[in-house]
Structure 1
Amino acid sequence: MTKSILLVGVGGQGTILASKLLTTGLMEAGYDVKMSEIHGMSQRGGSVSSQVRYGEKVESPVIELGSADILVSFEKMEALRYLNYIKTEGKVVVNDFEINSMPILSGKADYPQNALKVLQEKANTIVIDAAAEAEKLGNQKVMNMILLGTIIKAMGLEEIDWEKILKDNLKEKLVDVNIKALKAGMNLV
């Protein structure tokens, strides 16, 4: 059976790196994996999404509306934007974090004040504060690894050697803090 994971965020949050590490780990575990990513003006704080599908045989990297097993959102408004991709019985993991988009910064739009409430009413939603967890580790840039940890735990992928994946794919000086962040994320779900 094919599983579908949708990772969404804003450019600069490390969404693409998290999805590439996830894909690498799944392939090393023997799954057929397809990944698709969209970088909409991502270098300027625009929306970023990665679709990761894995199983015995995966035909397409595309997650259809209403078919994601899990939506992991690095930013609250992005969770709202992609909510219609989640299955009825799917899960949403949302980082309680706000990044104002250009329309909001320019005064042409307002940030949705009730984002978490809407998510919790419409889907099985787990809210985490990855920024606070990253702060405890002394490095704000590890929020993406905390969120990757939530995926690993929520999807039952703990048997994969994630420490090896991080050691093989990150700069040596960043490995230890990222392993701690991954474990912190796994403990939040």
Structure 2
Amino acid sequence: MNYLITGVGGQGTVLASKLIADALMARGEQVHSAETIGMAQRGGSVSSHIRTGAVLSPLIPRGTADVLIAFEPAEAVRCLPYLREKGVAIVNTAPVRPVTSSLADNYDLPALLQFLTAQPQRMIMVDGTQLCAEVGSAKVLNVCLLGVAAHADCLGISLAELEQALARRLPAKLLELNQQALATAAQLPLV
């Protein structure tokens, strides 16, 4: 499996990739991962690649990602060429304009969302702001999106496996809130 997670710095994409890798390694799978960080600061583009099996590189070739989890619509569009023909994308519809988009005044959210929904791949559009509001914290967007992906049965990782990865990776004081994020995401009706 090839998983690509993309967003902007500060959204928790790297932790999300570590949770996926942890869950896969816990079941004994061979996992390779890498982050490509355009600007190593809050607001810059971030992509995390996770691959299982006997692969030669941790970076996903274009057109081979099974799952794309996009924390931001413009980043989803930017990384869409990596998604395979029968891949699935989980896309947060709430914009967080990457720093690079502030260089030009052409960030058109309705056009981005329309472009994404017109793609042949399965697109699961998620209002991340609303989902996080239900949980009570904007800081759990990453876990919410992972929960949606597990709930949609496209990760090959169960909610229980993600919950175990959370318990291994997070300090106790953050665990309950993140478990609540997974549970809330699992209740989301999928379109």
**Does the TM-score normalized on the shorter chain lie above 0.5?**
yes
Secondary structure of 1:83's counterpart equals: helix
User: In 2, distance between residues paired with 1:20 and 1:68?
Assistant: 17
Q: Establish whether residue 35 from structure 1 lines up as the match of residue 29 from structure 2.
A: no
Pair 1:125 & 2:123 matched: yes
CA contact (8 A) 1:103 1:109 kept: no
Alpha-carbon distance in 1 for matches of 2:35, 2:58: 9
Unaligned runs of 5+ in 1: none
- Residue of structure 1 in register with 2:79 after alignment: 82
1:47–1:66 Cα change, 3 Å: same
What secondary structure does 1:105 align onto?
A: helix
How many Å apart are 1:34 and its aligned residue? Answer: 0.5
Structure 2: how far apart are the matches of 1:7 and 1:187? 22
Q: Distance in 2 between matches of 1:140 and 1:150?
A: 16
Identical pairs, percent: 38
Q: Quick check: 1:66 aligned with 2:58?
A: no
- Give how far 1:44 is off: 3.6
| Cα shift readout 1:123-167 (whole Å, capped 9, x = no counterpart) | 321101122111111111001100111233322311753323212
RMSD (Å), alpha carbons: 1.7
What do residues 70-122 of structure 1 show as CA deviations (whole Å, max 9, x unaligned)?
Answer: 1110000000001111111111110011112334435x231033111101112
Hey, what does 1:26 align to over in structure 2?
A: 24
Distance in structure 2 (CA, Å) of the matches to 1:97 and 1:20: 23
Partner of 1:110: 106
- Structure-2 separation of matches of 1:104 and 1:37: 21
TM-score of the superposition, structure 2-length normalised? 0.89
**Distance across 1 between alignment mates of 2:86 and 2:64:** 10
Contact 1:75 1:95 in 2 (8 A): yes
Measure the CA separation in 2 of the matches of 1:167 and 1:91: 27
Structure 2 contact 64–84 (Cα < 8 Å) conserved:
yes
Cα deviation code 1:153-183 (max 9, x no counterpart): 3223117533232122111111011011123
Amino acid across the alignment from 1:109: D
- C-alpha distance 94-105 of structure 1, shift in aligned 2 (>3 A): same
CA contact (8 A) 1:29 1:160 kept: no
Residues paired across the two proteins, number: 185
Aligned to 1:175: 175
